[in-house]
C-alpha cells in the first residue's frame, strides 16, 4: 500500500474529453458525437467545472504535471472555454513548473483560426490530426481537410506553440511501401519534435469493419503490414525521431509527458463524457469512468456533481496487469519491482531466449522483434 506522501509525490495529470466532432470518421471507435444542431457550450462548460471540483476532492494533495484536451475534437471548443477549464484546474491543484498542456486539433482552416486563442489560454503543445498527406487518402479516411490545409495548419501551429506533434495513419487501403516511404519522408521534413504514426486497425462496430466484412475494404496485413512498420522504425530512427512507444516517436526530451503518465501507470483525473481515471486514495488505486452520452453525462453532473458511470477498486493483481499491458509498449519497458514478482522468471527466460525480451536488472523491455508480437508477449507474461 502506497503512503499518502508517496502518492502525493507521484506524477499526476488531468485529461479533459471534448466528445464532439464535425463528422464521424469511418475508422473511429472513440467516444465522439456529431450534433448538427449545435451544442450549448456554456452549459457544458459549467458541467466541466463542476466535475473538476468533484475530482479535486477525490485527488486532493496532488500537483499537476500535464493536462490533455482530447476527443472528439477539442479544437471545436472556443478558446475562452479552454481558458476557463485551465483556470479551474490551476485553482484546484498546484501546477508543476513546465506543466505540459496539450490540445488535439484538426487542421481545417476554420479551426486553425483559433490557434492564437488557445496559446493565449495557456496551451503550450498542439497535437494535429493530419492522418494522411494526400487528398485521396484523406477523403477515404473521412477527413474534413486537404493535404495543403494540413501543411498550412502545421506551419501556423509551429509559429504559435513551442511543441507540436501530428498524427499519420499507415497501412491504409492500397498503400504500398513505396507510397508510405515518400509520405513519411515528407512528414519528417515538416515534423517539429514529435510524430504519432498509427497502423490502421479495424475496430468492431465502425463503417470500416462493415466494409471489411463485406469484402470492399482491403488493407495491408500480415507480412505487408510488418514491412510498413519496420520501414517506419528505420526512417524515424535515422531522422532522429526514434520510437519511445509502439506508435509514438520523438526527439529525445520531447516525448509526450501526458501519454507517458498513462503508460507508466500513474494517476490521472479524466473529466467529461466517456473519460477514464485512475486515482489512488487511502493506498488503493481506483478505476473510474464517466457516462458516454454527452447529454446524459451533463444531466448527471448537474444533479450529482459528477458524471460517473463506474467507480471500482483495482486489486494489486489488476494494477500489475494494467502496468504490464501499458508499460511494455514503451521502449524503456517496465520496472519488475512494481509487479511484486508476479511474472514467472522461467517464462521471462524463455522469451529472452527467443530474442523477444531483454532484461537488465529489474528492467524488462520488449526487443525490436518482441514489439512485432507484443500482444503475444503480454498474454504469455500475464498468464
Report percent pLDDT > 90 for the chain.
86
Q: How far is Cα 198 from Cα 243, in angstroms, rounded to an integer?
A: 12
Q: Are residues 236 and 320 in the same domain?
A: no
Q: Are residues 15 and 109 in the same domain?
A: yes
Q: What is the pTM of this model?
A: 0.95
Position 69 scores a pLDDT of 98
Domain that holds residue 322: 316-383
Q: Is residue 229 part of a domain?
A: yes
pLDDT(5) > 70: no
Q: Return the minimum-mean-pLDDT range out of 15-24, 103-112, 240-249, 305-314.
A: 103-112
Q: How many domains does the chain have?
A: 2
- Specify the CATH number for the domain of residue 43: 3.20.20.70
Q: Return the minimum-mean-pLDDT range out of 15-29, 155-169, 188-202, 331-345.
A: 331-345
Q: Are residues 247 and 364 in the same domain?
A: no
> What is the overall mean pLDDT for the chain?
94
> Among the three residues 200, 233, 262, which one is the final residue of a domain in this structure?
262
pLDDT(2) > 70: no
Cβ contacts of residue 268 below 8 Å, gap of 6+? 12, 13, 14, 15, 258, 261, 262, 277, 278, 279
Q: Are residues 320 and 234 in the same domain?
A: no
Q: Is residue 268 part of a domain?
A: no
Q: What's the rounded mean pLDDT across residues 16-40? A: 93
**What is the sign, positive or negative, of the torsion defined by CA atoms of 327, 335, 241, 66?**
positive
Amino acid at each position: 500500500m502506497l503512503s499518502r506522501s508517496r502518492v502525493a509525490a507521484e506524477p499526476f495529470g488531468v485529461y479533459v474529453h471534448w466528445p464532439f466532432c464535425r463528422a464521424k470518421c469511418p475508422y473511429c471507435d472513440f467516444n465522439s458525437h456529431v450534433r448538427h444542431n449545435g451544442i450549448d457550450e456554456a452549459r457544458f462548460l459549467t458541467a466541466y467545472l463542476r466535475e473538476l471540483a468533484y475530482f479535486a476532492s477525490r485527488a486532493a494533495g496532488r500537483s499537476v504535471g500535464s493536462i490533455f484536451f482530447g476527443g472528439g475534437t477539442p479544437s471545436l471548443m472556443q478558446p475562452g472555454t479552454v481558458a476557463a477549464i485551465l483556470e479551474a484546474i490551476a485553482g484546484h491543484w498546484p501546477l508543476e513548473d513546465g506543466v505540459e498542456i496539450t490540445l488535439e486539433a484538426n487542421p481545417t482552416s476554420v479551426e486553425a483560426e483559433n490557434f492564437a486563442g488557445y496559446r493565449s489560454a495557456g496551451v503550450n503543445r498542439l497535437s494535429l490530426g493530419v492522418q494522411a498527406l494526400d487528398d485521396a487518402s484523406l477523403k477515404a479516411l473521412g477527413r474534413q481537410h486537404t493535404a495543403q490545409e494540413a501543411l498550412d495548419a502545421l506551419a501556423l501551429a509551429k509559429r504559435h506553440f513551442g511543441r507540436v506533434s501530428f498524427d499519420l495513419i499507415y497501412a491504409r487501403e492500397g498503400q504500398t511501401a513505396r507510397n508510405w516511404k515518400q509520405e513519411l519522408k515528407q512528414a519528417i521534413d515538416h515534423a517539429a519534435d514529435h510524430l504519432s504514426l498509427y497502423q490502421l486497425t479495424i475496430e468492431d462496430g465502425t463503417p470500416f469493419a462493415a466494409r471489411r466484412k463485406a469484402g470492399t475494404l482491403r488493407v495491408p496485413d500480415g507480412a505487408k503490414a510488418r514491412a510498413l512498420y519496420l520501414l517506419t522504425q528505420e526512417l524515424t530512427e535515422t531522422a532522429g525521431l526514434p520510437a519511445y512507444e509502439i506508435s509514438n516517436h520523438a526527439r529525445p526530451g520531447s516525448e509526450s509527458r501526458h501519454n507517458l503518465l498513462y503508460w507508466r501507470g500513474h494517476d490521472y483525473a479524466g473529466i467529461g463524457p466517456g473519460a477514464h481515471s485512475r486515482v489512488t486514495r487511502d493506498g488503493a488505486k481506483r478505476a473510474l469512468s464517466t457516462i458516454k452520452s454527452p447529454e446524459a453525462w451533463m444531466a448527471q453532473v448537474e444533479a450529482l456533481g459528477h458524471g460517473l458511470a463506474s467507480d471500482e477498486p483495482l486489486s494489486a493483481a489488476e494494477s500489475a496487469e494494467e502496468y504490464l499491458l501499458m508499460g511494455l509498449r514503451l521502449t524503456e519497458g517496465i520496472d519488475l519491482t512494481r509487479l511484486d514478482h508476479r511474472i514467472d522468471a522461467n517464462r521471462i527466460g524463455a522469451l529472452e531466449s527467443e530474442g523477444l525480451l531483454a532484461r537488465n536488472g529489474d528492467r524488462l523491455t520488449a526487443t525490436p522483434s518482441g514489439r512485432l508480437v507484443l500482444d503475444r508477449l503480454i498474454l504469455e507474461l500475464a498468464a
